[in-house]
Amino acid sequence: MVGVVAPVASASTPIATGNDYSWPQCPRGVGNGQGQPLPHGSHTFAVVGLTNGQGLHENPCLASEWAYARAHNTLVTGYTMVTYPTASQRAAARVGHYGTCHTLACELRNNGWAQAVFTATSLGKIGARPPLVWIDVETRDRQPWSHNRNNNSLVIRAVIAGLHAHGLAVGIYSNRYLWNTIAGFRTSLPEWVPAESLTRGCRLSFAGGRVLLSQWSHTHASGLTFDENGRCSGAPSMSTWWQSSHPRVTSIRSSTNGGLYARFGSRPAFSLYARDPHAAAVVAAPSSAGTVPLFVSVTAAGNVHARTLGTGWRNLGTARCRNLPAPSLYGSTLTVQCTDDSGAAVVTTVPLDRHGATVGAGTTTPAPDVVAPTRTVAVTLR
């Protein structure tokens, strides 16, 4: 999904508004939370921080803030802080996506890719698949950038490449001073610019891309200050770069290679990394981030397995299924009913964790004398 927008001149009038929030809104004592309030009321969109102010450190309130965003906004997406690696992080990056390193440049690229993987993993854990994710490039006191813009750019470019490889388009949050101080390279990627109003940032492109959002900090009569954002006029339809708060998730099987895929709304399908005889069933599993898609499928050998977007496939039960398994949910428990090799109806019961993922293989027992649940390949997340 690279190239969501083209690099053309920015317009100035905001035509939709929303908030962004992250670790400062965590309660005091949770990570480095400051106890700042979340914005009240309903809005068009929200951008939720995925990191705790530094790359490779997750926002400890990510799940609850994502759930809050989904409950109070029509559209949601996330942003991730990109930071220059510490000495220990560079040492950990001596082996990575770009190979075994003998140079600083290699370590920086491996670290950038690792930050991208960390971001994609965080999104998977909350069952999210936004078309576009923002990367936040600004100065940091706790983990400062180097004084070498070329080295800083190696990290940032690798983050962008890694997110693209995970099927995510990328936009950049920064301003002219910060961007030119830290990196300075030109790019056509979408931009999100902090300024003194909901309109001024729309005219202040810093790297050559189209400005989609303008941000300002608004202090209300109540004394509370919130980051507020305006979508710049002339920007593409928001459905092309935001995830619906309550998307329709559809399970698909390729007739060409037997691969299993999923789709959020009308967005392009993405792989679930399995090849089975039939499309996976999908249910809306409860989680601390709201409901998330849980896929249940059966292999050619009859083994039942399940996964969320944040896990790999996990085998379930002790019986092989002769027919398509029919999953259903009872609170935080998944049940899967099918017919085993002997022709008997069996049911496997598996608990779910706070991310909506299965815990262990579960227990398989004879099925009660009831009608099996309807098997579905599409579900709306509430």
Residue 71 belongs to domain with CATH number: 3.20.20.80
311 with 285, same domain: the answer is yes
pLDDT for residue 154: 98
Where a domain ends, among 194, 224, 244? 244
Q: Rg (Cα) of the chain, in Å, rounded?
A: 22
Helix pair angle (149-165, 104-125), 10° resolution: 40
Count up the domains in the chain and report the number.
2
pLDDT at 368: 82
Query: How many C-beta neighbours within 10 Å does residue 221 have?
Result: 5
| Residue given tokens 């002219």 in the structure block | 176
Q: In what order do the strands lie in the sheet with 314-316?
A: 281-285, 292-298, 304-307, 314-316
Domain that holds residue 270: 248-380
Final residue of a structural domain among 244, 275, 310? 244
119 and 173 housed in the same domain: yes
- Residue-wise pLDDT tens digits, 32-86: 899 999 998 899 999 999 999 999 999 999 999 999 999 999 999 999 999 999 9
| 94-123 average pLDDT score | 98
Q: Could you tell me if 137 and 21 lie in one domain?
A: yes
User: Cβ contacts of residue 29 below 8 Å, gap of 6+?
Assistant: none
Q: What is the pLDDT of residues 15-36, one digit of tens each?
A: 668 999 999 999 999 988 999 9
Pull the structure tokens for residue 301.
Answer: 């050998």
Pairing of β 169-173 and β 132-136:
parallel
pLDDT at site 198? 77
Instruction: Supply the pLDDT for residue 88.
Output: 97
Residues 168 and 298 grouped into a single domain = no
Residue 4: inside a domain: no
195 and 304 assigned to the same domain: no
| Torsion angle of C-alpha atoms 125, 127, 130, 134, degrees rounded to 10 | -20
From residue 289, alpha-carbon distances to 61, 128, 174 in Å are: 10, 9, 28
Task: Give the DSSP letter string of 11-28.
Answer: ---EEEEEEEE-GGGSPT
Point out the domain boundary residue: 244, 268, 292. 244
Residue 9 lies in a domain: no
pLDDT of 305 reads: 97
For residues 7 and 138, the model is more confident at 138
Question: Closest Cα to residue 281, out of 164, 372, 215?
Answer: 372
Q: Is residue 332 part of a domain?
A: yes
Is 169 part of a structural domain of the chain? yes
Query: Would residue 266 count as lying in a domain?
Result: yes
Q: Is residue 8 part of a domain?
A: no
HSE value, Cβ hemisphere, 13 Å, CA-based, for 359 = 8
Instruction: Share the mean pLDDT of the chain.
Output: 92
Same structural domain for residues 209 and 312?
Answer: no
pLDDT attached to residue 222: 73
Cβ(379)–Cβ(284) below 8 Å: yes
Is residue 242 within 8 A of residue 229, CB to CB? The reply is no
With bands split at pLDDT 50, 70 and 90, how would you rate the model's confidence at 311?
Answer: very high
- b or e along 125-162 (b: 16 or more beta carbons within 10 Å of the residue's beta carbon)? bbbbbbbbbbbbbbebeebebeeebebbbbbbbbbbbb
Give 309's pLDDT tier (boundaries 50, 70, 90).
very high
Q: Would you place residue 11 in the very low, low, confident or very high pLDDT band (cuts 50, 70, 90)?
A: very low
CB atoms within 10 A of CB 333: 13
Side chain identity at residue 54, one-letter code: Q
Residue written as tokens 């390729």? 254
Distance (Å, whole) CA 122 – CA 54? 14
Give the whole-angstrom CA distance, residue 238 versus residue 1: 14
User: Is residue 4 scored above 50 in pLDDT?
Assistant: no
Query: Could you tell me the two tokens for 218?
Result: 């608004």
Residue 354 in any domain: the answer is yes
pLDDT digits over 257-284, tens only? 999 999 999 999 999 999 999 999 999 9
Tell me if 310 is assigned to some domain: yes
Are 254 and 139 in a shared domain?
A: no
Pair (39, 70) in one structural domain: yes
Question: Do 53 and 187 belong to one domain?
Answer: yes
> Do 25 and 109 have their domain in common?
yes
pLDDT surpasses 70 at 101: yes
What confidence score (pLDDT) does residue 370 get?
Answer: 62
* Planar angle of CA 82, 85, 91, nearest 5 degrees: 145
Q: Do 143 and 18 reside in the same domain of the chain?
A: yes
Are 172 and 46 in a shared domain? yes
End-to-end CA distance of the chain: 25
